């Protein structure tokens, strides 16, 4: 999952397949027949967190829905085809995921997709604003640095804008960072968590390697005690009624809820403890470059046959499962996402978020970072601002 940073990356996906998970989320996938939409819909259909799955696209959705409907899981599946059926697809939805749009081809940047995908996202989000204004909106369609501002402006035009419910899904950047760090350090990637902040294109993707940690039982009180000993801090408060007290490395107080322990552990590791991922500068620069250009790596490898679809479907499902967990009352769920933000002078910025029943419960901010990471943020801001403005101007100029 992207939940990140507070627990093992695959926990949300594992839990979503557990027969003990209970929820009745109604989820729509817009662009369900595409390279991301089909595997994403398969993962969502497999989850007992989802009770109703509605699939929309301009072609092939009846067949995709029929295929998925034969899978022996609880979610009902129905396909909707064309603009006239879109309202029915959206009615009553709790979560809408939008991977619709054209994929990148060799030589294209995410920004090259703007003209086509901006129109698609504006049209689909306008329908969401009209037919499921209270739903959580998860945008996968690139360029996310522009499509999230587009979504926000569309919802404003319809008078139903809620910044706590609109998410740019940047989860694939975290998934890649975890994987690549694990490869370098010989770790299990499921036990690595590297926050990735900023945006979702090129140098706006900012992996905070200095905050990356291999997890060792952080979801349990014992794990928290271990981190408290290593930090040697005198007091640390994670949430109301949740305090760990240590004195020169004494044992931490037991926490009542493991979810609160997870959030505490995340904050302790991020802001107080010595980083566990330590790389020489040349290796660090190579790693960050690979994370930032990982999408291009896949586009080139597929040689014109598409972009990152399977890994994006995994990352999108991970984000949705974390979000549904939080909507269902689970505490301590943390994910990075590109959202409306006041953490920098950029109006939109991705940071770790504490998710809750109504969407974003708290922006956890950037935290303590290295001078090198500070420089990356400064260099990313102008490009981010330009992409954001481009999205906002697109909606203002729509007829």
Known catalytic residues?
Answer: 200
Q: How many helices (H) and strands (E) does the chain have?
A: 13, 15
Determine if residue 366 is left, alpha or beta; phi over 0 gives left, psi from -120 to 50 gives alpha, anything else beta. Answer: alpha
Residue 59 burial (10 A CB sphere; 0-12, 13-18, 19+)? exposed
Judge whether 311 and 13 are in contact, CB under 8 Å: no
Cα separations in angstroms, 362 against 66, 159, 316, 355: 40, 23, 21, 7
CA dihedral 192, 198, 201, 204 (to 10 degrees): -110
Strands (DSSP E) contained in 67-204 are 76-81, 95-98, 136-139, 166-168, 192-193, 196-198
The three-class DSSP label of residue 18 is coil
Residue 102 burial (10 A CB sphere; 0-12, 13-18, 19+)? middle
Residues in the chain: 399
The three-class DSSP label of residue 361 is strand
């Amino acid at each position: 999952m992207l939940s990140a940073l507070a627990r093992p990356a695959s926990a949300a996906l594992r839990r979503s397949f557990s027969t003990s998970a209970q929820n009745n989320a109604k989820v729509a996938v817009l662009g369900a027949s595409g390279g991301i939409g089909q595997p994403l819909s398969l993962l969502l259909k497999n989850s007992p967190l989802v009770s109703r799955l509605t699939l929309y696209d301009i072609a092939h959705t009846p067949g995709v829905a029929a295929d998925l409907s034969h899978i022996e899981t609880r979610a009902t599946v129905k396909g909707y085809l064309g603009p006239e059926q879109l309202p029915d697809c959206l009615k009553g939805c709790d979560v809408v995921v939008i991977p619709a749009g054209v994929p990148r081809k060799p030589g294209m940047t995410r920004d090259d997709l703007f003209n086509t995908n901006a129109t698609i996202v504006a049209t689909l989000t306008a329908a969401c604003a009209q037919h499921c204004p209270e739903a959580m909106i998860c945008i996968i369609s690139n360029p996310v640095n522009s499509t999230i501002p587009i979504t926000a402006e569309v919802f404003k035009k319809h008078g139903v804008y809620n910044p706590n419910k609109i998410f740019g899904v940047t989860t694939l950047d975290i998934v890649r960072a975890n994987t690549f760090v694990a490869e370098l350090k010989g770790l299990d990637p499921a036990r690595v968590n590297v926050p990735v902040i900023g945006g979702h294109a090129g140098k706006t993707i900012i992996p905070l390697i200095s905050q990356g940690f291999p997890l060792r039982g952080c979801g349990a009180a014992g794990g928290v005690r271990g981190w408290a000993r290593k930090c040697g801090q005198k007091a640390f408060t994670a949430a109301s009624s949740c305090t760990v007290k240590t004195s020169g490395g004494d044992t931490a107080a037991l926490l009542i809820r493991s979810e609160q322990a997870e959030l505490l552990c995340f904050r302790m590791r991020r802001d107080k403890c010595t980083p566990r991922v330590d790389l020489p500068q040349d290796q660090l620069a190579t790693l960050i470059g690979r994370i930032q250009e990982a999408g291009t790596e896949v586009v080139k490898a597929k040689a014109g046959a598409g972009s990152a679809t399977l890994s994006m479907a995994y990352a999108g499902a991970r984000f949705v499962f974390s979000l549904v967990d939080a909507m269902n009352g689970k505490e301590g769920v943390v994910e990075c996402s590109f959202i409306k933000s006041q953490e920098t002078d950029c109006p939109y910025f991705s940071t770790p978020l504490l998710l809750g029943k109504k969407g974003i419960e708290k922006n956890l901010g950037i935290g303590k970072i290295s001078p090198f990471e500070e420089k990356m943020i400064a260099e990313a801001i102008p490009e981010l601002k330009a992409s954001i403005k481009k999205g906002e101007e697109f909606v203002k100029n729509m007829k």
